[in-house]
Structure 1
Amino acid sequence: MLVPVTDGAMIVASDYSGQHKEASHEAYSFLVTTDQALDAWLPSLRAFRQRWLPDSRRISFKKLNEPVRWRALPAFLETVGNLSGNLITILIDRRVGSFMAGGPDATVDAFPDCFSAHANRGTVEKMFRLASFVALILSGLRREDQVSNWISDHDEALDTHDKREQFARLATYLTFGLTGWRKPADHWFGTTESPMAPYWSEDVAAVPDLVAGAYCQMSGFLPAFLGMKTWQVRMAPSSVEDRRAHAIGDWLANGRATLRHVLLRLEQDGNGEVRSSAQAFMGST
């Protein structure tokens, strides 16, 4: 289902949605590619920029209702569809509890050098979830001797130097726990607001931003879990009222084989148990 990303350095860009209190779900989205694939794709990104957004304004889900960005969206999605890589999104019901038994306090106790003692407990949980997902992606898609670079949206989990240092330790511990790597190649990371971020970082990070926002809008209409077997569910086009989510859902459904996508969903069942499913769009929404 996913394409290999082991030639050259791994590039990961991520963004998140559903962090406000009114949201029913949170989404953590990651675009995983390589420097070789990115180098081959960047000329098409520059061509898109010159034609559609020469003023350097950023594509983002929240700003898609602005006319210039909305007109540019189809061309941007078509351009992105030519990038070889994987788009991995985790959609989590807000009713799902902490990823650590005992909650954020237990997380701080278990990893005392990864959190400040009085850190906001919501931020602790987000850092732990984010580090868990990064570790899963690295352990599943990266070689031990493969350099990787991760560019994240700049938010409260990574908004200070101390948090980034603490997060790096946490992600290292979790990655080692999953892989047992003794001599891993370097894993570099920063945020889109770093002065050292490459010029393309905002556009590449816009892809998981768009997808995370769309999945949160569609969370009430997507299937949660349907047993242990493979299944298909038809999604009525009229069920998605948000035109931004509808456009992005259609793009995912009709996407080329170059950029693969998968949605991992964590949802509570009627008994309060957390259930998981893996999903992908096929055909127009």
Structure 2
Amino acid sequence: MEDITTAWRDRVPPEAGFAHLLSSAIHIVEQQDTDLLWPVRDGSQILVSDYSGQHRQATHEVYSFLVITKHVLDGWLPQLDEFRQTFLPDGRRLSFKQLREPVRRRAYPHFLDVVGRLPANLITIMIDNRVGTIAPGGPAETALIFDDCFSANASAASVEKMFRLAFFVALLGAGLRDEEQPSLWISDHDEALDTFGKRDGLGRLASYLSFGFTGWRNPAQQNFLTTEAPNCPRWVEDLAAIPDISAGACAQLSNTLPLFEGSKTWTIRLRSQVEPDWRAKVFGDWLSEPHGVLRHVLLRLAPDETGEVRASAQKFVRRSV
């Protein structure tokens, strides 16, 4: 029976495969830590996504999502404006790749500080490359099943990427959204979303998957926006910078974070003998601090020692030595 007292509602059925594993992982951890996530069902919901690890040397693909309600965002924007006026008055954009630039580097910890005051959920999903495709039957079969969502000449890589994005958006909607709750999905603009047809197909695919995960027949509308849409407010790019930095940092930390430790729930800290990229270390140290109101969870999908793909959920916690 669905638990209506928790922020996460574990409503994804077992036949949904990987989605069920990931939903159950969050549910298990939330039973131990009731402050794991904020409820985000009051008013219009905003979901902002970004991803990393789409390069040859990467061992994982990382998808990160910030989930918040519009009225909470409106209450936080004055603090964001104050940060910009003090540290980035010229309007330059923040992203993980650009943090080495001196002005952005100085602004980085202050940006994290103001983000920490945002009562939102930061959910990051890491997919081990050994998992392979998550599209049902593989990209070719998925393109046939959802033939109104992909162009006839879509590559296997494009189908897989679009399926993963729609899959995770539908999963988070199933866990954090109500059927009658309107939603706005904001994504970075890249080659997977560079035409109206691709964006329209992606939204349609997410709605199909959402029905499969929830059974909702009359859900409220979910609109879609990219960061390069005309006349976007400034806060769109700043919100997108949060999952961008999280995805980039977690991709850098992918081989230092533990997978399974023989129990259903556990917390971790960065291993002292490993010196990660400074941008990732600053992020990991910040996320593990007890102050601030931003809540987070890191999900991993990876094969265990027997080759069985398993899901786990974890959060960063700083422990005294």
What TM-score, normalized by structure 2, do the two folds share? Answer: 0.85
Q: Aligned in 2, Cα 1:229/1:189: closer, same or farther, shift over 3 Å?
A: same
The aligned counterpart of 1:105 is: 140
Shift of 1:233: 4.1
Per-residue CA deviations over 1:119-162 (Å, capped at 9, x if unaligned) read 01101001111101000111111111111111101122211111
Q: Aligned in 2, Cα 1:255/1:35: closer, same or farther, shift over 3 Å?
A: farther
Q: Which amino acid aligns with 2:56?
A: K
Q: Give the distance between the partners of 1:148 and 1:256, measured in 2 at CA.
A: 29
Q: Give the distance between the partners of 1:210 and 1:234, measured in 2 at CA.
A: 19
Q: Give the distance between the partners of 1:71 and 1:229, measured in 2 at CA.
A: 39
Point out where structure 2 has 5 or more consecutive residues left out of the alignment: 1-35
- Secondary structure of 2:75 counterpart: helix
Point out where structure 1 has 5 or more consecutive residues left out of the alignment: none
Match of 1:162 among 166, 190, 197: 197
Match of 2:130 among 68, 82, 95: 95
Q: Give the distance between the partners of 2:216 and 2:136, measured in 1 at CA.
A: 26
- Secondary structure of 1:283 counterpart: coil
Match of 1:235 among 249, 267, 270: 270
The aligned counterpart of 2:301 is: 266
Q: Which amino acid aligns with 1:273?
A: E
Shift of 1:206: 0.1
Shift of 1:91: 0.5
Match of 2:214 among 172, 179, 193: 179
Moved over 4 A (4+): none
Q: Which amino acid aligns with 2:256?
A: F
Q: Give the distance between the partners of 1:2 and 1:145, measured in 2 at CA.
A: 21
* Number of aligned residues: 285
Q: Aligned in 2, Cα 1:77/1:278: closer, same or farther, shift over 3 Å?
A: same
Is structure 2 residue 240 aligned with structure 1 residue 205? yes
Q: Give the distance between the partners of 1:240 and 1:265, measured in 2 at CA.
A: 21
Shift of 1:255: 4.9
What TM-score, normalized by structure 1, do the two folds share? Answer: 0.96
What's the C-alpha RMSD, in Å, of the aligned pairs? 1.5
Is structure 2 residue 61 aligned with structure 1 residue 26? yes
The aligned counterpart of 2:179 is: 144
Q: Give the distance between the partners of 1:190 and 1:284, measured in 2 at CA.
A: 39
Shift of 1:256: 3.5
Q: Aligned in 2, Cα 1:175/1:196: closer, same or farther, shift over 3 Å?
A: farther
- Secondary structure of 1:239 counterpart: coil
- Secondary structure of 1:276 counterpart: strand
> Are 1:61 and 1:210, in contact at CA under 8 Å, matched by a contact in 2?
yes
> Are 2:265 and 2:314, in contact at CA under 8 Å, matched by a contact in 1?
no
Shift of 1:184: 1.4
Q: Give the distance between the partners of 1:134 and 1:255, measured in 2 at CA.
A: 28
Match of 1:220 among 255, 274, 287: 255
Q: Aligned in 2, Cα 1:196/1:255: closer, same or farther, shift over 3 Å?
A: farther
Per-residue CA deviations over 1:25-72 (Å, capped at 9, x if unaligned) read 110000000111100000000000000000111111101111111100
The aligned counterpart of 1:117 is: 152
